Amino acid sequence: MDRRADPPLPDEFRQLGLLIQHSTDMLARHAPDGSYRYVSPACRELLGYEPSELAGRSPYELIHRNDLAAVSGCHAALLDESRLRAIVYRIRRADGEYVWFETTGHALHDGGGEIREIQTSSRDVTSRVRAEARLRESEQRFRLAMTNAPIGMALVGLDGSFVEVNERLCEILARPRDELLTLTFQDITHREDLDTDLGYVGQLLTDEIEHYEMEKRYHRPSGEVVWALLSGSLVRDDEHAPLYFIAQVVDITERKRVLLELEHTGQQLEASNRELQRYASVAAHDLRSPLATVSGFLELLSHRLEGQLDAQGAQILQVTRQVTMQMAETVEALLDLTRVDIDELTPTTVDVGGVVTEVVDASGSAFIGTDAWLDVDTLPSVRGDRAQLRLLFQNLLLNAIKFRSPDRPLRITIRAEPEPTGWRFAVLDNGLGLDEADQERLFEPFSRTSEGHHRGSTGIGLATCKRIVERHGGTIRAYDAHPGACLEFTLPAAPEGPDAR
């Protein structure tokens, strides 16, 4: 019998065959019971089987037992409806590992309406399923965190509407969840805070900021205003398009109430302090004139009775003059202290070396004494009030004079060294020094050092120095220098450049 060659396949069949051979999806033909009749070569890559190994086998042998019921249900539906919607399930590879498959299919019928064959297309969706699982887990963690958060939290739409809120936010705003979900944050924000809030929202949308924090007020249904600390941020999708806002709200109403009370109390104390300072200044001024009169009469009496008083009378007159002079010094020191607190600072660039020279020149030789030695380093310029800095160095030098040691000539050293934000000055003497207890109370008004170390001291000079330094933003301390004492303090640096004044 003659044998003839098979006729060539039409082009469309050849092209269809190529598509099946090179498809990355696994294409299969099944018997009505589901067993494989044909499997495309993609099964090698997806499941690790040769197509011939699967022919005649049932897919149910490979499907994870937890997914058998779902697959069986879809199989039954396919037999009834002729088309299988996508189903995702686990199937075992040749190496024993399970992967996630997504399968779609349809049934072919013969002329009598009976199902002749089932055709399916399957692909590996393991990466997608795992990503979706991670996303669900992340969303669940977020929802749990939001639900159980001790602060108010909300997801807010781009139009300001509340998309989701937690119970704590409902408590803060005194509104039920269902009501909040019908409102926007604009509806319940205090009108004086709304523009600021909307300004931050606009900056989030234009990527000018990543998040913001502000104090704002909300209205409760009762009309009560609640203060809150609001933190806002914006969530975007993979294309960087804005999705929604996340708002975190902390109730700070009680904190604001306490702060306002403290502020009011502080204002009252400040007013009271100003009044006390004014009284002290007035009292000191009022004492000046009588003390000057008393001092003048004592001087006149001393001249008139010169040589006429016995030893006891002369001593009484001398002690009275000394006490009067000390009281006058105290009044002047008190005036200096009140002026330091009350007078407004006039900051300029001050040459500290020039200020020290002025203080020494103004005092004359009586200030230092012929047996004293003043050693002054090259001193810098600082930013400060010239009059107050002059008073600062005057009091420090006077302090060194008052506490000089009778056993040695007085030596005073003034030096300075730079710091990151200014200058550190030291006024060092070789006088009587300081006891440890003195260092604790030295800068308190009307305090004096230990017994035997307070000759002629008003107890106000170093308190005035402390006020001056602190008003200039610096710190001051005292310590024993063995022998003598060191007063160390900081002052701000003078500005540089043509604008420095």
Residues whose CB is less than 8 angstroms from the CB of residue 319 and which lie 6 or more positions away in sequence, other chains included: none
What integer pLDDT is reported at residue 268 of this predicted model?
77
Comparing 195 with 403, the larger pLDDT belongs to 195
Name the E strands within 397-500: 411-419, 422-429, 476-480, 485-492
Element (H, E) at 106: strand 98-109
Which of 89-98, 296-305, 338-347 is most confident?
89-98
Q: Among residues 159, 155, 158, 125, which one has the least CA distance to residue 139?
A: 155
**452 has a pLDDT exceeding 50:** no
More confident residue, 497 or 223: 223
Share of the chain above pLDDT 70, in %: 81
Q: Which residues pair with 479 in a beta bridge?
A: 486
pTM for the model: 0.43
Mean pLDDT across the stretch 369-381? 83
User: Which CATH architecture fits 149-251?
Assistant: 2-Layer Sandwich (3.30)
Name the residue among 424, 399, 429 with its Cα closest to residue 491: 424
Predicted pLDDT of residue 112: 79
Residue 283 has pLDDT above 80, yes or no: no
* Range in 35-44, 126-135, 243-252, 271-280 the model is least confident about: 271-280
3-state secondary structure of 160: coil
Helix (H, G, I), strand (E, B) or coil at 378: coil
Instruction: Give strand pairing partners of 128.
Output: none
- Helix, strand, coil % in the chain, rounded to nearest 5: 45, 25, 30
Asked if residue 483 has a cis previous peptide bond (ω within 30° of 0), the answer is yes
d(CA 201, CA 153): 17
pLDDT for the residue 279: 61
pLDDT at res. 10: 58
DSSP, collapsed to helix, strand or coil, labels residue 217 as strand
Which pLDDT band holds residue 456 (cuts at 50, 70, 90)? very low
**Range name among 81-85, 289-293, 415-419 with the lowest pLDDT average:** 289-293
Q: Answer for the pair 59, 36: CB distance below 8 angstroms, yes or no.
A: yes
Q: How far apart are CA 74 and CA 473, in angstroms?
A: 80
Scanning the structure block, which residue is given the tokens 């139009």? 159
Question: pLDDT tens digit string along 383-432?
Answer: 999 988 998 998 899 888 888 888 888 899 999 999 988 999 999 999 88
What is 345-492's CATH superfamily?
A: Histidine kinase-like ATPase, C-terminal domain (3.30.565.10)
Q: Which is nearest to 85 in space by CA: 98, 75, 97?
A: 75
Q: Is 119 helix (H, G, I), strand (E, B) or coil?
A: strand
Give me the pLDDT at residue 451, please: 44
Question: According to the model, what pLDDT value does residue 494 have?
Answer: 87
Dist. CA 321–CA 224, nearest whole Å = 69
Q: Which of 1-5, 46-50, 280-284, 309-313 has the lowest mean pLDDT?
A: 1-5
Confidence label for 1 from pLDDT (cuts 50, 70 and 90):
very low
Question: What is the pLDDT at residue 127?
Answer: 92
Helix (H, G, I), strand (E, B), or coil: what is residue 206?
A: coil
At 145, the pLDDT band (50, 70, 90 cuts) reads: confident
pLDDT per residue as tens digits for the range 209-246: 999 999 999 999 999 999 999 999 999 988 899 999 99
- Average pLDDT of the residues in 442-454: 58
Inform me whether the pLDDT recorded for 305 exceeds 90: no
208: buried, middle or exposed (CB in 10 Å: 19+, 13-18, 0-12)?
exposed
Between the CA of residue 175 and those of 163, 181, 218, 373, what are the distances in Å? 15, 10, 11, 79
On the question of pLDDT at 200 being above 80, the answer is yes
Segment 3-21, tens digit of pLDDT:
455 555 556 656 666 677 7
Q: What phi, psi does 90 have (nearest 5°)? A: -100, 140
Domain at 12-131, CATH class: alpha beta
Q: Tokens 């979900």 identify what position?
A: 181
**Section 322-348 average pLDDT:** 67
Identify the residue whose tokens are 């499941």: 47
Alpha-carbon distance of 494 to 500, in angstroms, equals: 7
Determine phi and psi for 484, rounding to 5 degrees.
90, -170
DSSP β-bridge partners for residue 375? 413
Q: Mean pLDDT across the stretch 70-87?
A: 85
Once rounded to an integer, what is the mean pLDDT over residues 146-175? Answer: 91
Q: Between these two residues, 370 and 373, which has the higher pLDDT value? A: 373
Q: Give residue 57's pLDDT.
A: 94
Amino acid of residue 345: L
Q: Mean pLDDT, to the nearest integer, of 61-90?
A: 89
Mean pLDDT for all residues in the chain: 83
Say yes or no to pLDDT of 436 above 80.
Answer: no
Amino acid at 331: V
